[in-house]
Amino acid sequence: MEKKIILGMSGGVDSSVAALLLKKAGWSVTGLMLLLQPPSPAREAAMTDARAAADRVGIPLFFDDRHEQFQKLVIQNFIDEYKNGCTPNPCVRCNPFVKFASLLAFAEKHGCTAVATGHYVKTDKTPMGHTRLLRHPSAKDQSYFLSYLTQEQADSAVFPLAAYTKDQVRAIAAESGLPCAAKKDSQEVCFIPGKDYASFLIHAGGLRAEPGYFLNTSGEKIGMHRGILHYTLGQRRGLEIAMGERMYVQSLDPKNNTVTLCREDERYITSLTVENPHWINGKPPEKPFSAQVKIRSTARPISAEITPLSETNWQITLSQKQTFAAPGQTAAFYDGDVLLGGARILCV
């Protein structure tokens, strides 16, 4: 029986090599590029790259315009979080609510048994046959960004890059003549080219960069800032204030339009609060419980004790001090290498 699979493609090297590996593994592969932005030269260029990769591998490619859904579920949430002085992670939200939801809908419509992406993540099966998501052994591990997937989405997912490093993927692309072999990885939020968050929030979100006061941790005014939307927790560069020592953004107060700065020795935490945790298998662990926690995508997992405070809020007590966890970001929970789920960081 033919194994039919839908692969999310972007025109980048990861999804292109994923297509090649799936085809070699005997899958009947159909590429699907989700168009998350309105028509533009940049969108057309990405579509051209994806077509070239699909043609080289020898698979059909379809396009699905989801930019209105993306605007509603991801971009608007991003803007709203910044209005409240928070720092969202749009990829964590996009994966379950837009990407995997769209891939599964397309797969069902076209009689496919699975969906695939170019994420660097591993999987295994439980005795009941459900898929568990595991951290990838390389530095490229992207499991954190999948912490809000549902069990249905995980069960349907195939990750062809599970056994490969980024260098190996690039080598496969070059050996196979894929046109994207030397294409650089994007280090940006996909809808904010150049990382100019402030301009995006002003022009697309209607936010205003009103000057206000910098405060120290004693609440004293120590200078003027350019507008809260220019800052995020833990930021050191670009503060444009001379204090004779390194200063870091400790907190943002949109209501009073203030930015509190702290010294190096004041920027560490040993606990934080999260809200509305999501568990991939739909079942919260026994309360309280121990786990490893990543409080940002680039952090390493830290052992922690997780205790419920209410029906919605949980406290995470870390075994080691960490630098600030930004409200709006995701705390991802692990049992060893197994991704359990995630929760929105509420406060520190």
Same domain, 75 and 157: yes
Is 180 catalytic? The answer is no
pLDDT band at 286 (very low <50, low <70, confident <90, very high): confident
| Residue 211, pLDDT above cutoff 90 | yes
Domain holding 258: CATH number? 2.30.30
Range of the domain at 86: 3-175
Which one of 112, 180, 190, 347 is the catalytic residue? 190
Helices 166-175 and 13-24, axial angle in degrees (round to 10):
70
- What pLDDT, on the 0 to 100 scale, is given for residue 347? 64
Find the largest Cα–Cα distance for the chain. 71
Q: Which residues on neighbouring strands pair with residue 157, listed in sequence order?
A: 115
The rounded mean pLDDT for the chain is 93
Upstream peptide bond of 38 is cis (omega within 30 degrees of 0) = no
Same domain, 143 and 282: no
Residue reference for tokens 């409200």: 327
Is 86 catalytic? The answer is no
Which one of 86, 94, 112, 180 is the catalytic residue? 94
Domain holding 45: CATH number? 3.40.50.620
Total domains in the fold of the chain? 3
Same domain, 7 and 153: yes
Same domain, 98 and 231: no
Q: What is the pTM of this model?
A: 0.93
pLDDT, one tens digit per residue, over 171-187 is 999 999 998 877 777 76
Query: What Cα–Cα distance (Å) separates residue 172 from each residue in 16, 17, 18?
Result: 10, 7, 10
Same domain, 272 and 249: no
Q: Which of 88, 38, 73 is nearest to 229 (CA)?
A: 88
Residue 181 lies in a domain: no
pLDDT band at 287 (very low <50, low <70, confident <90, very high): confident
Same domain, 148 and 292: no
Share of the chain above pLDDT 70, in %: 99
Domain holding 336: CATH number? 2.40.30.10
Residue 336 lies in a domain: yes
- Per DSSP, the three-state class of 195 is helix
Same domain, 155 and 144: yes
Residue 202 lies in a domain: no
